[in-house]
Amino acid sequence: MIHVPTPILAIMLLFPITEASEKARVEEQKKLEEQKAGKPEGVYHVKQTVGNACGTIGLLHAVLNNSDRMKLQDGKFFAKFLSETKQMDSEERAKALASNKDLEEEHEVVAKAGKTKATARAFANLHFISFVMVKDVLYELDGRKSQPIAHGATSRTSFVEDALKIVRKFVAFSPKDGRFSVIVLAPKKQTFQGGAAFGGDGGSLPSAERQQEVVGQLVEMGIPEDKAREALGRNGWSLARAVEYIYSQ
């Protein structure tokens, strides 16, 4: 990540759901219940109750847990949704998201812009989660989990490496699977070379295989394939900037 602008505010991980990862999730939940662990205060978490919404929820977790470190545009989805749901619990936020008209309209616009059928089945069993720092603690945020998962103390200087240690644990569940990818929430930079995973301004065009992989990540988030390709092409095949481009339209 040497070419990614800093500071990195959040990390999103796309990973394949496997028998091993599911076993770990169940064991983790059981441990939380046995310990009667309370939900941490000041961490924004949304439960996932709608299928194929993990990408949207991952973005919410990444952005809204950094609302004090970045300016949300007034009148746009993120600012409005935070204002409406800040005092809600995870389940109430899930209901608000499911009935949110602004997001429904955004998805409708994107869907109508597509000209080909999205190949979501090719990317089945993939899931997005996010890692953020809140009050000097590293949290894993997953809409399929009952609450944020604390992974110990961190700092602005160690956040990325601390988060990647947890990412490596997910990779260990299926080390031969090549569908893992990381997206970061970071500042814009005009001289940006290389996206969170692929290409950037002036960068070489990724291989056809890598192009299909990054297109698939956007498809997994509910974005039609040709709309995903357009956004990536306009943004040097930078996944992070393509996501920002799509949701800013």
| Active site members | 54, 127
Backbone angles phi, psi at 68, to 5 degrees: -85, -10
Position 87: which residue type? Q
Side by side, which strands form the sheet with 181-185?
Answer: 149-153, 137-141, 126-134, 10-16, 181-185
The closest of 51, 60, 52, 94 to 247, measured between CA atoms, is: 60
Q: What is the CA radius of gyration of the chain?
A: 17
DSSP-based three-state secondary structure for 88: coil
- The total number of residues shown for the chain amounts to 249
Residue 176: both structure tokens together: 């031969």
Residue 151: both structure tokens together: 């992974």
- Cross-strand pairs, 182: 13
